[in-house]
Structure 1
Amino acid sequence: MKPTSSGPSIAKIPEGDDRQRLVCGDCGFVLYENPKIIVGAVCRWQDRWLLCRRAIEPRRGYWTLPAGYMELQETTEEGAAREVWEEAGARVRIGELLALYNLPQISQVHMIYRAEMTSPDFAPGPESLDVGLFSWDDIPWGELAYPTVAWSLCHDRDLMGRSGFAPRGVPQGAEMAPEKP
């Protein structure tokens, strides 16, 4: 009796492909690992920005935008609104796509929208220790979880009062460490 391979476990370049993938030795199934899509929003209530303090790793205890992995069967806008509700207990109207960050070093694409909160109500969800509305000067710049958070906040502020713009990307010469603008 021939042992089964139990799924894609053989690293090889499949016929017609140009890169190594994991392939099932029994049935030939090819496992395509692709970048993850992160969706989220820069949410504002009047002149304040909504941030969540992470309750989970990585970067537990640091502040971030409500954002996370896109789910199957949803649009990017629906995913962004869902993440805001799950992480910050806030209802929003999703606006224009603010930024699209390609992060090949971590195999992610971040799609960040602008969002207007429909009320000042919010509450921490299971993935947040705390949630707050911050004026620009009170944003905890030294405690931001990821550089994309600072980039998104800065892009949003730079475009305040404007619409119909092209989405922003990774700032020229940007480092992968957050810093105060």
Structure 2
Amino acid sequence: MEIKENNKRIRLLEAANKLVHAQGFNQTTLADISHEAAVPLGNVYYYFKTKEEIGQALIEHRANFYRSLIAEWEKLPSPKERLFALIQMVTDQRGELARSGCPIGSLCQELHKDGGLLAGKAADLMAAILGWSEQQFRALGKGTESADLALHLVSVLQGASLLTHTFNQPDLLLRETTRLKKWLNAI
């Protein structure tokens, strides 16, 4: 029975992830998530008592996804290759980013407007990416500039993602990530 129940929880989380990315946290209802996951609405409350609990679980779900990506990138032999992997991941998602925006950036922006616990937890996602990027620049020997270089990298990726979504033009992201790769090569 536990496997079946875990399956429902996973389906609910995956449905929430998909819907929140496509239409935003505030616009996504428990009924939407229930329908998408093919789980009766009444059963949703067994797994998540409130929408905020779903929000917390969703943020943790996304954090786990990015932790697994970072674990894969850490297997690459050099910090520069790891940073290129981050840029390439964003490049590869340009179609999805054009449709729905950055799953982390959009969530952070939306939740920050409401404030509270979820806003802080979402900000931790962005902070983790910044921190990891800074570690890579430090490993490249960039010392005190590392934080600023990481901020530049993530800012360009987030800005390009926002513009790509705003204008629904995946090519914008491709142009910026190409420029960003040249910048990184020159460092």
TM-score interval, smaller chain: under 0.3
Greater Rg, structure 1 or structure 2?
Answer: 1
Hey, which of these two has a bigger chunk of strand by percent?
1
**TM-score normalised per structure 2:** 0.25
**TM-score normalised per structure 1:** 0.26
Hey, which of these two has a bigger chunk of helix by percent?
2
